Amino acid sequence: MKGTFITFEGGEGSGKSTQARLLAGHLKQKGYDVIATREPGGTEIGDAIRAVLLNPEFTEMGNVTELLLLASSRAQNVHERIKPGLERGAVVICDRFIDSTLAYQGYGRKFDLKLLEALNRLATGGVTPDLTILLDLPVEVGLVRAKALDKGESKSGEGDRIEQLDIDFHRRLRQGFLELAAREPGRFKTLEITEGIEAIQDKVVEVVEEYLKGRG
């Protein structure tokens, strides 16, 4: 495909959504054709699935149900937005993608990684990121930040359905992301969140502009 596919990954409260949005705005100002999307969500169908997935009242949702809903949202996002954007030569930026499934459902929920990789291939039709930016920070810090943010998806102050999972889940999740990054150092760029939003944005822009320059 002609375009460039950039994804942001990280645990709760890592600032992925903010950095993805800032990067999209920066590249648009530079004259790039940019598509910004997210997972779960990104499409009308995906956003409806997202509302179900994150609803803290749905405490009886099974792990398999969760997994298949996530895959469904991803399949629609690839079909409707990601693949068409890449085919026309756009820079597609996605807040979460296949690595979130491996980290959350694999390391966190303890599903078999090979099963998840097969499901990802089915949902994406083989579309994979060119560059993945992993924003890493301590679990405890991230959860405090996540619950403090009012994203319109949880009004209780206790966080959404995922943020309410136990601390061990989130520790496994973080370790999973770090192991995935170590496994594919050519695709991943890990940035430790030790500074403010603007400083992290500068680092993200530097990484992305260097990558795009390398692609010509």
pLDDT in tens, 25-81: 999 999 999 999 999 999 999 999 999 998 989 999 999 999 999 999 999 999 999
Please report, for the domain that includes residue 56, its CATH number.
3.40.50.300
Determine the number of helices (DSSP H) and then strands (DSSP E) in the chain.
9, 5
Residues 75, 78: Cα–Cα separation, whole Å: 5
Helix (H) / strand (E) containing 76: helix 63-77
Q: Residue written as tokens 């136990």?
A: 166
Q: How many domains does the chain have?
A: 1
For the stretch 157-183, what's the b/e string if a residue is b when 16 or more beta carbons lie within 10 angstroms of its beta carbon? eebbbbbebeeebbbbbbebbbebbee
Domain coverage including residue 181: 4-215
Averaged pLDDT, 100-104: 96
